[in-house]
Structure 1
Amino acid sequence: MTHYKNFFLTISMVLLLAIAPLSAATSSATSIASTSPTAAEILGNPDYPAMSYGGYREKTRDVVPTKDEIKDDVRILAAMGIKILRTYNTSQYPQAERLLAAIHELKAEDETLEMYVMLGAWIDCRLAWTDHADHTQGSIENNTTEIGKAVELANRYPDIVKVIAVGNEAMVQWAVDYFVYPKTILKWVNHLQTLKSTGELPAGLWVTSSDNFESWGGGDKVYQTDDLASLIKAVDYVSLHTYPFHDSHYDPVFWGVLPEEESLNQIDQIEAVMLRAKQRALSQFQGAADYINSVDADKPIHIGETGWASIAGSSYGETGSHAADELKEKLYYQHMRDWGNEAGMSVFYFEIFDEQWKDAGEASGSENHFGLITLDNKVKYTLWDEFDQGAFDGLTRNGKPLTKSFGGDKAAFMKSVLPPPYKSRMPRRKITTINENAVPGKPVTADFYIVTLDESLLGTNLNTSYPSNTLKITPWEGTCNIIMTADDVIEITTGTGDWWGNSLGIESETGENLTAFKSGHIILEMRGDPELSFEIGYQTGHYLANNQVNNSMKFGPKRDHKLEKNWKYYKIPMSKITERNADLTNVTNVIYLKGDSPDAKTKMYIRNIFYSKK
């Protein structure tokens, strides 16, 4: 008991010291804040462009940019006309505190400088970043400290901090290492709003949470909970993220050159494709806005994060969607700025400088290349006009001047531009052969449930059925690449991280009812590297609803079953892989694979997948 008493005493002290600011300090902060514009006056104002800022130079965030380095960055941002910056942590790293100090000192040197901050407080679940993450509870120690530091900094720099954002993509449930449910975010938003009401934070400060459009009710309806509705009402505005760049790989329905555009020149094709990328962002925004407005019709919405990478490896680069290059990055940037200005909405563009810590093990990883300026001070094509106009004259970063990418050689630059793929030739990301008479959730009574199959292999006059809706081919969290070729072969390229996974999921709120197959088999053909270890099977329930069950058989060199280099049929008995708590009335992923990543990327292939009652 003594240990527990000491723990709660420590937490109480943290709360008292970190969250309860001195009345004299808050009174002074309120006075200072009243002489500078409020969040309401700068958000959505086209005279106050916004940008996400990290500024990390090294492969780890443990090496935090110094105050002088940050001053160099702020000068560059100011030269671009940027006036609002977004940060992500308050206490985990001293970057935000150094940024605020740097801005404060620069303002003392130049009274004309205007630079404000949307201060992010990182929110984690209990036991985040472990194998035992508890998403139902927040991390008391981390979240208390992050919010407490945000309060302290907002009161210390009230003329600079105009927004506190509680969490970054903290509610979207593909953030499996740390996500929380809306109730955890709501707790801290309400806390900050209370501090505002009691004068312990400036009244003009706005409080929000910054998250993926799905988390704000724009996607799967499982997110549309009472707690989310309460959160929408509690925040001063919604900060929403949208990333068509990622969708060019994961959900490319909008991506690619349409058949009627194939005769256009490459530039016109790219412009048409990038206009659809903009429309994709607008569509995701509108989907969330419809739900948000149904809860609170007057709630402001701003874009908290969106961006486009200029370099990428397999998923988005030359062997992937061909999305990543500097021309597409510029077109997207212009589209987002135009959209924000026309809509009276702030767009926090991600981001100003490349950062290599995000994918430290893969130099070409797209996450390292979302910046408009490279780590070696090359101004990307997006900012060539500003460079030519002298915006960066006399400015340095890391003691060196800025130069143009490709040495300013337009011809060399154009050689790096990737032609967008033709829609007619793109690998498929969905299986669209369906049974139009079938209804999701209604029992499948046929003898064979076909996922993908050359039916001539089964024979004639057989009782067969197809999925009740399209099947989405999904690589999990970018851990692998999975496509369906023109000859109906599923091709998987494993990643090299800790694990890889993918699935073929039914695109409906209700899964397939495959109870008739509980004593049957999954039959499929596979080939690949015999040394590859993985599990394959089906999933019931929904991950987002916390009731998903994996039902699988393990393959590998030390298992009863393994891949062979040539095609081989495998017959997986349902009775041996179905878990006790599996709900066969709700099969959501009719096939899934998950494995430990090999040292190098490895390919495997699957075809002719079907369920049989016998």
Structure 2
Amino acid sequence: MTTNELNPMKKTIERVFAGLIATLMALVLAACGGGGVVPSGGVTLRSLSPEFTNRKAVSYSPYRTSNRDTETITDANVEADLNLLVAGNFKLIRLFDSSDKVAARVIKIIHDKKLDIKVQLGVWIQNGQDDLNKAEIVRGVKLANTYKDIVLAVSVGNETMVSWAFNPVTPALMGGYIKSVRDQITQPVTTNDNWAFFAKNTGEPNNPKSIVLAIDYVSMHTYPLADSIHSATKWNWKQAEVAANLRATAMMDAAIEAAKSDFSAVRSYLDGIGMTSLPIVIGETGWKSVASNNETSRAHPVNQKMFYERLNAWMSSATTSKPAVIFYFEAFDEPWKGSDDKWGLFNVERKAKYVIQDLYPSAIWETGTYAAADALYYIPTATNSTITASRYTVYSDVAVPGEAKTAVDPLWVGWESTPTAFSGSGPSGSAPEGSNIREITPAPKEWGWGMIAALVGSSDDLSSFAATGKLNFSIMTTYPGSIEVGFLTGTADESSAYDVYKVLTPGSYGYNNNGAWHQVSIPISDIIPSGGIGYEMDPTKSKLDLSKVTNPFVIADRYAKTGKPANTNSTVKIYIDNVYWSK
């Protein structure tokens, strides 16, 4: 060949070689956090630094009381929190906002005390509050630029575009806020949202494409525990087909697979629109140590540890199908969250829960000793034959000929994980029958309180009492105003719990609150019309079912139902005796 013939071939080889090099470089950059890659129509990606991807990450909020709005946060408490996290090697934290009260304080303490902690800073975006959002952006940009060595990334907005968002913001508006922040800083920028939004899951109204084109990495949330309540068929948490002694392990294995499935769904969507180099971070995931929102048979210190260990195993595995980072939710319990509390690795007293006790000295452990066998799992509720006796006794000392009794002894327990009422034996010598009475002490929250007599793992068929039956009990109290009494059918495990409580005013059905004993008798047919779907239950399952009574007696005071103002907070004791159904 002549020299002229060789030159075109040489140029072709050079072009092919250059293309291969570019492809390899893109792969390397993607593996390191996506920096430098320009997705089709998107921004030039800013890479997540090794300081970000190589640290153990956790979400952090400093709140310790039941009212974050009035709580005074101190530097001493924040510094103590951060030192605890460093001691456990949690050296990457997620902050949710750019407020002076929290974010600026936390970052300044990290800087001033020279703590080895890096931050994903939040910029809190609120629906319909453009002026407040712009002010928040100013604060966030200032913090990101002032503390570039600490703030490694910034997240604009939190769970605003998923279909069930409590603080909804359209992708168009959010895209503008993201761009405003990104144009003023050099760090990678994202937004935190549920996996279903980022995966454009079935039923999601918002298209994530404009958002993923505007960010440097995805920060997705996945909550298998919450999904077991809100999307009961999304994954098989019950594992009922598995032997009971293996069911807890099977459930937690299924839980981590559910989280992996959510991750894969997001990855598939991104790859499908050409965003193959956009990194994914799991911005929130976790497991409660205590059931605070109907997570019975699931939330327990051992189950929390099992989920945490499975997350760690996923991250340390050789698979490439995993996130760049997992931010565990969360560092500390936060009482202000109410029914959404108990996710913390530490309790609110800053005692290490079972999940991380191997990282800390026993002096700062939460009380309680656990073993693998203590893990909770689904146990089907036993359904017993129809009660045909004319009397069904829930609580009484004196035996009555021909009566039927509860299948199991009732467990008297207050609503919620931090009980809103307590029960014990009342003063002897004052019982209207026998010698024992039940003393109930309200420990109300802002909405009120409740106490149940629960048939744990069992239910009784009281359908024969529907037409002519009555709920009877003796009561002595000076508790102010009205109360609620009734029963519950179904179970939280089956998402079928149905509340059947009637407001009982002084002077009705024999009730009075004058400090003397009174005998109350309420027709079941008068209570039933007050029934309603249980909190967070499935409307297709939560229906009145007298063949499956699981709480044959409930006493409560939900202020919205009894006409009291929030935070009424009366703790006057109520004494109960001789509780039974009759017909």
TM-score category, normalised to shorter length:
0.5 to 0.7
1:326 to 271, 283, 301: 301
2:530 to 532, 542, 545: 532
Provide the C-alpha distance between the structure 2 equivalents of 1:232 and 1:527, rounded to a whole number of angstroms: 56
Identity %: 28
Provide the C-alpha distance between the structure 2 equivalents of 1:247 and 1:402, rounded to a whole number of angstroms: 32
Q: What does residue range 16-165 of structure 1 map to in structure 2 within 5 Å?
A: 40-42=48-50, 45=53, 47-62=54-69, 63-91=71-99, 94-107=101-114, 113-126=115-128, 139-165=129-155
Partner of 2:333, secondary structure, is coil
2:376 to 412, 418, 429: 418
Question: 1:39: how far off?
Answer: 6.1
Task: Determine the structure 1 residue equivalent to 2:354.
Answer: 381
1:477-514 per-position Cα deviation (integer Å, ceiling 9, x unaligned): xxxx997999x996534899xxxxxxxxxxxxxxxxxx
Question: 1:222: how far off?
Answer: 3.8
Provide the C-alpha distance between the structure 2 equivalents of 1:310 and 1:56, rounded to a whole number of angstroms: 18
Task: Determine the structure 2 residue equivalent to 1:207.
Answer: 189
Partner of 1:405, secondary structure, is coil
Provide the C-alpha distance between the structure 1 equivalents of 2:179 and 2:380, rounded to a whole number of angstroms: 49
Q: In 2 relative to 1, CA 158–223 (structure 1 residues): closer, same or farther, beyond 3 Å?
A: same
Q: Which amino acid aligns with 1:385?
A: D
1:140-159 per-position Cα deviation (integer Å, ceiling 9, x unaligned): 12211111110011112111
Which structure 1 residue ranges, 4+ long, deviate > 6 Å from structure 2? 481-486, 563-567
Question: 1:419: how far off?
Answer: 3.1
Question: 1:237: how far off?
Answer: 0.3
Task: Determine the structure 1 residue equivalent to 2:227.
Answer: 247
Task: Determine the structure 1 residue equivalent to 2:269.
Answer: 291
* TM-score normalized by the length of structure 1: 0.54
1:401-423 per-position Cα deviation (integer Å, ceiling 9, x unaligned): 623431xx336x966x4333359
Question: 1:597: how far off?
Answer: 6.4
Task: Determine the structure 2 residue equivalent to 1:405.
Answer: 367
Query: 2:196 touches 2:204 (CA, 8 Å); kept in 1?
Result: no
Q: What does residue range 252-401 of structure 1 map to in structure 2 within 5 Å?
A: 252-253=232-233, 254-262=235-243, 265=245, 268-295=246-273, 296-313=275-292, 315-317=294-296, 322-342=297-317, 343=322, 345-359=324-338, 365=339, 367-387=340-360, 390=361
1:598 and 2:582 are equivalent in the alignment? no
The alignment covers a number of residue pairs equal to: 367
Provide the C-alpha distance between the structure 2 equivalents of 1:307 and 1:351, rounded to a whole number of angstroms: 7
Query: 1:333 touches 1:382 (CA, 8 Å); kept in 2?
Result: yes
CA RMSD of aligned residues (A): 3.7
Question: 1:162: how far off?
Answer: 1.1
Q: Which amino acid aligns with 2:239?
A: L
1:545-572 per-position Cα deviation (integer Å, ceiling 9, x unaligned): xxxxxxxxxxxxxxxxxx99999xxxxx
Query: 1:258 touches 1:424 (CA, 8 Å); kept in 2?
Result: no
Partner of 2:376, secondary structure, is coil
Partner of 1:252, secondary structure, is coil
Partner of 2:48, secondary structure, is helix
Question: 1:599: how far off?
Answer: 5.2
Of 341-350 and 179-188, deviating more is 341-350
1:231 and 2:211 are equivalent in the alignment? yes
Q: In 2 relative to 1, CA 61–255 (structure 1 residues): closer, same or farther, beyond 3 Å?
A: same
Larger radius of gyration: 2
Provide the C-alpha distance between the structure 2 equivalents of 1:424 and 1:289, rounded to a whole number of angstroms: 42
Q: In 2 relative to 1, CA 384–174 (structure 1 residues): closer, same or farther, beyond 3 Å?
A: same
Q: Which amino acid aligns with 2:355?
A: T
Question: 1:338: how far off?
Answer: 2.3
1:189 to 171, 178, 184: 178
Provide the C-alpha distance between the structure 2 equivalents of 1:270 and 1:173, rounded to a whole number of angstroms: 31
Provide the C-alpha distance between the structure 1 equivalents of 2:169 and 2:276, rounded to a whole number of angstroms: 26
Partner of 1:78, secondary structure, is helix
Question: 1:382: how far off?
Answer: 0.8
Provide the C-alpha distance between the structure 1 equivalents of 2:526 and 2:162, rounded to a whole number of angstroms: 34
Partner of 1:208, secondary structure, is strand
Provide the C-alpha distance between the structure 2 equivalents of 1:273 and 1:181, rounded to a whole number of angstroms: 36
Provide the C-alpha distance between the structure 2 equivalents of 1:82 and 1:314, rounded to a whole number of angstroms: 28
Question: 1:206: how far off?
Answer: 0.8
Provide the C-alpha distance between the structure 2 equivalents of 1:234 and 1:65, rounded to a whole number of angstroms: 35
Q: In 2 relative to 1, CA 122–308 (structure 1 residues): closer, same or farther, beyond 3 Å?
A: same
Partner of 2:122, secondary structure, is strand
Q: Which amino acid aligns with 1:383?
A: I
